[in-house]
Structure 1
Amino acid sequence: MSARTTRTRLFAATTVALAALALAACEGDGSDTGASSPSSAAPAGQQSERPAGKESAGGTEADGTKETNGSAGSAASSGSSGSTGASDSGSGGTSASSGASGSSGTSGGSGDEDSDLPGKCSAADVEITATEVPRPLNHLLLTATNTGSKTCMLPQYPAARFGEAQSVPPVAESTKPQSLTGVQPGEAGYAGVLLSAGDGSGENGYRTDTLTIPFEDGSIATVALPTGGVYVDTALTVTYWQADMDAALSH
């Protein structure tokens, strides 16, 4: 074999070896690329999932933020409305207070007006005395003097009970005044009492030394009778309370 042939083969072998190395290098690069591709794909997938998640999370956060902002806006709006409502309520409260004050003032005024009106007399307000009079015959004069500090109104007539009587005497309707008799402090009202029939026509007569007169509030005045008491029978009659003594003795 010649030297030239040997060099040719050696060159060819070297060429093949270089080609093999080049191919191996190419395959290596492809393998690395292939290996790195899954590796790159995995991060890509992860990145794809993560951004998606992030986007989803971001979207959720964004939505949440929006919702939060919306809630905050609603809360702010509600707060604003609440503040306005509170202000309105406050104004209403002020108006209500003013109205209440006005009502109280009106009530107070009515109370003051009512307090100016005379009240009903009671046994604690008046002192009643009984006096025998010569005319008319068999008559007794009752005098009710106001010992209090305010004017008071006497009952229509004295519901006089003599002794142990179970009923009060009738009243003479002809003596009824136009209105109740009021007595100012220190002044008096008068009522007449027909004790018995002057012609002796009365029945069931008896003598007594006690007289009580009840008032509308439940109080009772005890009246001292003349010494020796008085004689009464079925003719016993009283008059309405009068402002004038003569009107009380006219029956």
Structure 2
Amino acid sequence: MRTTRRATHLVASATALTAVLALTACQNDTKDTGSPAPAASSQSATGAQGAQSPSDGNSPAEGGHASKTAAAGASGSGSAGKKGSGQAAGQGSGSRATTAACTGAHVKVTVAKVQRPLNHMLLTATNTGSTPCNAYGAPYLRWDDGQAATTFLEASKPQAVVTLAPGESAYAGIMYQSADGSGNSGHTARTLGVLFGNREGNGSTGPAVQLSLPKGGVFTDSSAWVTYWQSRSEDALT
């Protein structure tokens, strides 16, 4: 009997120990296999909060959202900028930039004395071509065979280049001698050479136009000047 009870006790103890070990193993398995799920859930929640919270600068979700937004903004502003600049160029200075400079090849030039102001002449340039041209700067004048160009009157510089459509005219005023006699090296000129300025504003372009001055010639000296091209004759003589 004692032997049987002892054996029964040993079996019961072994069974209890086995159950304890099985329960422990089960708990360990549950911890090992269950830990990733809460961690993934936590990362997902953090990412969602990060995307909504502007204060979380380290959130990958927020960083990605900001990058896409910035890229979209840059793309949008770039398209708008290009479109805006294209319209401005087409409507304003861009159209002038593609227009050729006026030259003596397709512009008729005339010169005439005027009663007022004193010692002045009016230079008129008319576009006889079939396309518009730009009258850049001021005309380059040569009295007879003189080498030095006549001084430009800087105070007459217009705000914009004068563009001549076919048949339209530009004007420049010429003072050939100061009324107070302050000039020197005076002489009587018989002809007047006219050259048009180039787009760069650093010289002339195209063939020259040679004009005959009024009968008896024009007495000119070092005080002479010429205005920039103007769209109205009144402005050229003011």
Question: What's the counterpart of residue 56 of structure 2?
Answer: none
Give the TM-score, by structure 1 length.
Answer: 0.49
**2:125 paired residue among 128, 144, 155:** 144
Q: In structure 1, what is the Cα distance between the partners aligned to 2:111 and 2:89?
A: 43
Matches within 5 A, 1:52-201: 52-61=24-33, 63-64=34-35, 68-69=37-38, 71-72=40-41, 75=44, 78=47, 107=85, 109-114=87-92, 122-123=101-102, 127-128=106-107, 142-146=123-127, 147=129, 149-150=131-132, 152=134, 154-155=136-137, 157-160=138-141, 165=147, 167-171=148-152, 176=156, 183-191=164-172, 193=174
Q: In structure 1, what is the Cα distance between the partners aligned to 2:195 and 2:135?
A: 19
Q: Deviations over 1:117-170 (max 9, x none)?
A: 86687246984555576889x998644233363474553x324356573x4323
Question: What's the counterpart of residue 239 of structure 1?
Answer: 226
- Specify whether residues 133 and 57 from structure 1 end up closer, same or farther in structure 2 by C-alpha distance, changes over 3 A only: closer
**1:214 paired residue among 174, 193, 197:** 197
Give the TM-score, by structure 2 length.
Answer: 0.51
Deviation, 1:68, is 0.4
- Specify whether residues 221 and 96 from structure 1 end up closer, same or farther in structure 2 by C-alpha distance, changes over 3 A only: closer
Q: Deviations over 1:48-82 (max 9, x none)?
A: 22222223333544x43xx5056247537847987
Q: In structure 2, what is the Cα distance between the partners aligned to 1:125 and 1:75?
A: 78
Q: Deviations over 1:4-39 (max 9, x none)?
A: xxxxxxxxxxxxxxxxxxxxxx4xxx2344345445
**2:6 paired residue among 34, 37, 48:** 34
Cα RMSD for the two superposed structures: 5.7
Deviation, 1:186, is 1.9
CA contact (8 A) 1:142 1:191 kept: yes
Question: What's the counterpart of residue 209 of structure 2?
Answer: 224
Deviation, 1:192, is 5.3
CA contact (8 A) 1:160 1:212 kept: yes
Matches within 5 A, 1:19-30: 26=1, 30=2
Could you tell me the percent identity over the aligned residues?
Answer: 17
CA contact (8 A) 2:109 2:125 kept: no
Q: In structure 1, what is the Cα distance between the partners aligned to 2:13 and 2:146?
A: 127
Deviation, 1:88, is 11
Structure 1: 5+ residue runs without aligned partners? 1-25
Q: Which has the larger radius of gyration?
A: 1
**1:49 paired residue among 10, 13, 21:** 21
